Amino acid sequence: MSKSKLIVSIAGLILLIGIILIVFLYQCLFVPCTNNNQTNYLYIDRDDNIDSLSIKLQDVGKIKRMTGFNLLSKYQNFDEKIHTGRYEIVSGKSILDLYRQLSRGQQSPLKLIVPSTRTIGQLIKTLDKQLMVDSTEISKQLFDKEYYKTLGFDERTLPSFFIPNTYEVYWNISAESLLKRLKQEYDRYWNEQRRQKAQAQGLTPLEVSVLASIVDEETAKNDEKPIIAGLYLNRLHRGMLLQADPTVKFALNDPTIRRILFSHLEIDSPYNTYKNEGLPPGPIRVASLQALESVLNPTQHDYLYMCAKEDFSGYHNFAVTNAQHAANARRYQQALNQRGIR
């Protein structure tokens, strides 16, 4: 073979290798690596490294061709660029797009549900299940006395800090940032309009939360909550004892009691509204948004008494006079006796 032919052959070989390399890199970096026609979410936590991330990408992200990602990771020290978070992996995304998204920390927010719960501990556990931060971190921050004083609450009033709703946050939000956000939502909820509504009822925002917590414990029926809120406001405005059974259960630390007895009413507690005038010193649970709005916008009526319906539907019979209430109570007591509930 002549020298010129050898040069041409070598040049052709180099060109072929170059074309193969270009095609290979194009396939690795630019061809869509997901084509399952659905959106998946990749969660990167504090314990993840390049190895665990690769496994998650194949398992959760349904990405089969990892060569391009591994090449980029190796030559750009991706271990030093891993960002925690929740990442949306959409169909049609290339490896290069995905690498840029992850290395730049371009995560997607989620809808965080802050629920109405009987205890703050239960609420924190639900947050733990939805976020990267765990319940221990949240509790350590929230239950620090000096911290919750800066929020404007004490141990008894702390349940009123939470406004149950759905909020958009990032999955990797820190405990400090989460509580800061919830304080912002508290301040946003208690705007001037709602403060004026509370004042019109003779209540402070805290007292609205306290009464709303009682309303929540009285009924799970949202359509009944404005009626019950109006009833308790009627009693408050007339200087009557609230005589709310849920406050007695709270004082006894036993929400499972189904039948309040005279012996229960003797408990010496500031939460016993059969003995103490006005509202308890703090909420007996984290009040729901529906209950808060019910106290701010109560149904106008003359009811002063309520008793659970004898059909155990969860609804109540309401009464204006004590005689009407006594008749309702007798029917309910008879129903309890028939079912053997003590």
pLDDT at 39: 81
221, burial (CB in 10 Å: exposed 0-12, middle 13-18, buried 19+): middle
Output phi, psi for 228, to 5 deg: -65, -40
The answer to whether position 14 is within a domain reads: no
The answer to whether position 334 is within a domain reads: no
Task: Collect all residues with Cβ–Cβ distance below 8 Å to 32 and sequence separation of at least 6.
Answer: 91, 92, 93, 94
The answer to whether position 93 is within a domain reads: yes
174, burial (CB in 10 Å: exposed 0-12, middle 13-18, buried 19+): middle
> Do 294 and 207 belong together in one domain?
yes
Number of domains within the chain: 3
> Do 95 and 116 belong together in one domain?
no
Report helix angle 192-200 to 289-296, nearest 10: 60
**Can you give the pTM of this predicted structure?**
0.88
> Do 90 and 162 belong together in one domain?
no
> Do 211 and 240 belong together in one domain?
yes
The answer to whether position 88 is within a domain reads: yes
> Do 127 and 220 belong together in one domain?
no
| Domain extent at residue 133 | 110-189
In one-letter notation, the amino acid at residue 148 is Y
Last residue of a domain, one of 42, 70, 103: 103
CA distance 128 to 116: 15
The answer to whether position 315 is within a domain reads: no
User: What is the DSSP pairing of strand 305-308 with strand 316-319?
Assistant: antiparallel
Token reading at 103: 């290395």
> Do 95 and 118 belong together in one domain?
no
pLDDT at 7: 62
* CATH number of the domain enclosing 79: 3.30.1490.480
The answer to whether position 87 is within a domain reads: yes
> Do 241 and 271 belong together in one domain?
yes
Last residue of a domain, one of 189, 214, 248: 189
pLDDT in tens, the chain (342 residues): 566 665 655 666 666 566 656 555 556 555 666 666 678 898 999 988 888 888 887 787 677 676 667 777 766 666 667 889 999 988 777 777 888 888 888 999 999 999 999 999 999 999 999 999 999 999 999 999 999 999 999 999 999 999 999 999 999 999 999 999 999 999 999 999 999 999 999 999 999 999 999 999 999 999 999 999 999 999 999 999 999 999 999 999 999 998 888 899 999 999 999 999 999 999 999 999 999 999 999 999 999 999 999 999 999 999 999 999 999 999 998 988 888 877
Token reading at 325: 């209430």
The answer to whether position 311 is within a domain reads: no
The answer to whether position 51 is within a domain reads: yes
Residue 28 near residue 95 (C-beta atoms within 8 A): yes
Query: How far, rounded to the nearest angstrom, does the alpha carbon of residue 323 sit from its chain's CA centroid?
Result: 43
**Number of alpha carbons in the 13 Å side-chain half-sphere of residue 310:** 12
pLDDT at 21: 63
134, burial (CB in 10 Å: exposed 0-12, middle 13-18, buried 19+): middle
